[in-house]
Amino acid sequence: MDGMTWAYLIVGASFALYIGIAIWSRASSTADYYIAGRGVSPVANGMATAADWMSAASFISMAGLIAFMGRDGSVYLMGWTGGYVLLALLLAPYLRKFGKFTVPDFVGDRYYSQTARMVAVVCAIFVSFTYVAGQMRGVGIVFSRFLEVDINTGVIIGMAIVFFYAVLGGMKGITYTQVAQYCVLIFAYMVPAIFISLMLTGNPIPQLGFGAKTADGVYLLDKLDGLVTELGFAAYTAGVKPTIDVFCITLALMVGTAGLPHVIVRFFTVPKVRDARVSAGWALVFIAILYTTAPAVAAFARTNLIETIHNKPYAEAPGWVRSWEKTGLIEWKDKNADGVMQYLAAPDKNEMTIDRDIMVLANPEIAKLPNWVIALVAAGGLAAALSTAAGLLLVISTSISHDLLKKTLMPGITDKQELLFARLAAAVAIGIAGYLGIHPPGFVAQVVAFAFGLAASSFFPAIILGIFSRRMNKEGAIAGMISGITVTAAYIIYFKFLNPAANVPANWFLGISPEGFGAIGMLVNVAVATAVAALTKPPLRRVQEIVEHIRVPRGASAARMH
């Protein structure tokens, strides 16, 4: 069968599976819709969390970033995996023991303030919409190439699929759909990685092939260093980012991970407090399979790309070049009119413009793998993007229906009415997410990095101080969240939207890029919150007792929150 037939067959089968699961696990109550009735096993929750976590940025864009950035791209690996350790150890079990539905629910009750709840709702919606823009962009990229439709059409198709299983199934449907999506995405990521590792190094394990010798007896990374430096790029294994920027991006991604509401809410779905920690451990195992493979995939892709296109006649270009040109994500301009593709570091001589987001998707085509493998990667990319998009949209809908309406504006609504409002909010959110996917503010991983910075500067300090500081009060938490997210958003908006020409290291605060400024926003949040709390009244005695209770491990293994 040709590639198009395989793509329709495999992608169609995966979509049928997701929709079937959504129908089977349809939510019938708000507990089902918000937290899957707290009946998910730790292993299943770990797998669903991994799928929720490994978004289009992880599947599609991360290896592409590493392929182009080399060692500097390691900030994404370190930040995202390190952040998950923080989440597992410092947040998940305590939040589960607190027993609320959502992060704004925790903030509102812990800080005994409707104002704090509202600030948290706004932050959750802001962060989630920023993040979901990257996911919908990823969906459009996959559809545009493998189903040969316009990127905008691809986004609309993705919206329809997410609408069906997110609105119908809620957290219950999303959880079991994400288990299936994890299986699809990890299989789709590993199969081509194993094939290409065998082709380049003779080693079937990509993680080992990354450090092995190629057929010509040269270590893969040494060969890649030679290829890129010959073209005028910095050595692949040499970083060019300032150390402080590497540190701040890594820190922003770490604490942003631990503050992402769509990941945190997953730990409310397990039966017991102990299960929250166990499921976090399983999630880390499932995540590590992909994350330890990504550097190898990046090196394989960059090596094959250079050897395939540089200094080759365009008339003899492989089919994948022309296929991706149709999407606008690859462009060739024959600057010297010699009919030969030149891929060089010098902007005035470089003739190839290659979008970073295509590297993982194009990798099997570049390596001339079978059509079914190429189609499988398309299904995996869609699974990664759609699983995270569904989780984010659920956060948005629950923030509106539960925290804004039920807890604030319309406390008298019934359970059935609340469920209806949640579904309506999800439908509206999907429409807005689709618009952001059609008009994204950057490439996938960059947009996601902004979301992490916003989460780092808003939620993480409020949550961590709410758990470990009896003295933190509502005035401090509110002031901290507002100041942190405001400073971070202003910095990102200025350099990325208002004055992009100024977005160079010389103009950055202390040399810190917009992607890393969430770390500064977090420090601003903590400093403001601590200062304001010290100058105002301490929290109520009952609140201090709650803080003490959720930290005490006594009886935690048997505790059930209702």
Give the three-class secondary structure for 354: strand
Q: How confident is the model at residue 527 (pLDDT cuts 50, 70, 90)?
A: very high
Residue 175 maps to a domain: yes
Q: How confident is the model at residue 446 (pLDDT cuts 50, 70, 90)?
A: low
Residue type, 4: M
> Phi then psi for 354, rounded to 5 degrees?
-125, 120
Pair 217, 338 in one domain: no
Residue 408 maps to a domain: yes
Let me know the angle formed at the C-alpha of 18 by 153 and 386, rounded to the nearest 5 degrees: 45
Q: Say what the alpha-carbon torsion angle 276, 280, 281, 285 is, to the nearest 10 degrees.
A: 150
Q: How confident is the model at residue 191 (pLDDT cuts 50, 70, 90)?
A: very high
Pair 372, 488 in one domain: yes
Pair 491, 535 in one domain: yes
User: What is the bridge-based pairing of β-strands 352-354 and 330-332?
Assistant: antiparallel
Pair 254, 328 in one domain: no
Distances (CA, A) of 223 to 193, 206, 289, 300: 18, 17, 25, 11
123 closest CA partner among 535, 480, 377, 516: 480
Mean pLDDT of the chain: 81
pLDDT value, residue 558: 44
pLDDT value, residue 529: 94
Is 90 exceeded by the pLDDT of residue 524?
A: yes
Please give the share of the chain, as a percent, with pLDDT higher than 90. Answer: 13
Q: How confident is the model at residue 555 (pLDDT cuts 50, 70, 90)?
A: very low
Pair 180, 42 in one domain: yes
Domain, as residue range, for 426: 19-303+367-558
Is 70 exceeded by the pLDDT of residue 502?
A: yes
Min mean pLDDT across 142-151, 203-212, 366-375, 480-489 is at 142-151
Pair 473, 491 in one domain: yes
Better-scored residue on pLDDT, 36 or 514 = 514
Pair 406, 351 in one domain: no
Residue 188 maps to a domain: yes
> Which residue(s) pair with 213 in the sheet?
219
Pair 251, 126 in one domain: yes
Better-scored residue on pLDDT, 397 or 69 = 69
Min mean pLDDT across 37-51, 482-496, 527-541 is at 37-51
> Which residue(s) pair with 191 in the sheet?
none
Buried b / exposed e along 164-195 (16+ C-beta atoms within 10 A): bbbbbbbbbbbbbbbbbbbbbbbebbbbbbbb
pLDDT value, residue 526: 94
The span from the CA of 562 to the CA of 268, in Å, is 11
Is 80 exceeded by the pLDDT of residue 501?
A: yes
DSSP per residue over 407-472, as a string?
Answer: III-TT--HHHHHHHHHHHHHHHHHHHHHHHHS-SS-HHHHHHHHHHHHHHHHHHHHHHHHH-SS-
Pair 377, 339 in one domain: no
515 closest CA partner among 459, 460, 458, 448: 448
Residue 2 maps to a domain: no
Residue 1 maps to a domain: no
Give the three-class secondary structure for 330: strand
Better-scored residue on pLDDT, 508 or 177 = 508
The span from the CA of 268 to the CA of 96, in Å, is 5
Pair 382, 485 in one domain: yes
pLDDT value, residue 559: 41
Helix (H) or strand (E) holding 267: none
Looking up tokens 């300090």, which residue turns up?
A: 461
263-292 pLDDT, tens digit per residue, is 777 777 777 777 777 888 888 889 889 889
Pair 278, 381 in one domain: yes
Report, as an integer, the average pLDDT of 531-542: 90
The total number of structural domains that make up the chain: 2
Is 70 exceeded by the pLDDT of residue 363?
A: yes
134-181 pLDDT, tens digit per residue, is 777 777 777 777 777 777 888 888 778 777 766 665 666 677 778 888
Pair 222, 277 in one domain: yes
Is 70 exceeded by the pLDDT of residue 190?
A: yes
* CATH number of domain containing 41: 1.20.1730.10
pLDDT value, residue 556: 42
Residue 128 maps to a domain: yes
Residue 171 maps to a domain: yes
Residue 205 maps to a domain: yes
